[in-house]
Amino acid sequence: MEGQNPILNSIKRGLKRPLWASLLFLFTVILLSGLQINKEYSIFSIPLGFMSGRVGFISGSQRSCADFFKQVPARKVVKSITDFGGIGDGKTSNTDAFQRAMEFMARFTDTGGSQLVVPKGRWLTGSFNLTSNFTLFLQHDAVILGSQDPKEWPIINALPSYGRGRERPGGRHISLIHGNGLTNVVITGENGTIDGQGKMWWELWWNRTLVHTRGHLVELINSQNILIQNLTFLNSPFWTIHPIYCRNIVIRNMTILSPLDTPNTDGIDPDSSLNVCIEDCYIESGDDLIAVKSGWDQYGMKMARPSTNIIVRRVKGTTPTCSGVGIGSEMSGGVSNVIIEDLYVKDSAAGVRIKTDIGRGGYIANITINNMRMERVKVPIRFSRGANDHPDERWDPKALPKVRGIHISNVVSLDSKRPPLLEGIEEAPFEEIHMKNISLFGLDPSMTWNCKFISGSSCSVFPTPCSQLLKNESNFQCPN
Enzyme catalytic residues: 287
CA distance 319 to 51: 28
Give yes or no for a cis peptide into 446 (omega within 30° of 0): no
CB 427 within 8 A of CB 449: no
Q: Report phi then psi at 431, rounded to 5.
A: -120, 160
User: Which residue(s) pair with 155 in the sheet?
Assistant: 173
CA distance 80 to 116: 6
Q: Report phi then psi at 23, rounded to 5.
A: -65, -40
Alpha helices in 364-475 (DSSP H): none
Handedness of CA 19, 23, 25, 29 (dihedral sign): positive
CB 376 within 8 A of CB 319: no
305-338: burial string, b at 16+ Cβ within 10 Å, e else = bbbbbbbbbbbbbbbebbbbbbbbbbbbbbbbbb
Other CB atoms within 10 Å distance of the CB of residue 145: 22
Q: Are strands 241-244 and 450-452 parallel, antiparallel or unpaired?
A: unpaired
Q: Are strands 142-146 and 121-125 parallel, antiparallel or unpaired?
A: parallel
E strand residue ranges, 320-378: 323-327, 335-346, 350-356, 363-375
Q: How far is CA 448 from CA 87, 406, 422, 463, 467, in A?
A: 60, 21, 12, 8, 11
- Burial (Cβ within 10 Å: 0-12, 13-18, ≥19) of residue 140: exposed
With residues binned 3-state (H G I as helix, E B as strand, rest as coil), the percentages for the chain, rounded to 5, are 15, 40, 45
CA distance 194 to 217: 8
Give yes or no for a cis peptide into 463 (omega within 30° of 0): yes
Other CB atoms within 10 Å distance of the CB of residue 160: 15
- Alpha carbon 141 to chain centroid distance? 25
CB 255 within 8 A of CB 217: no
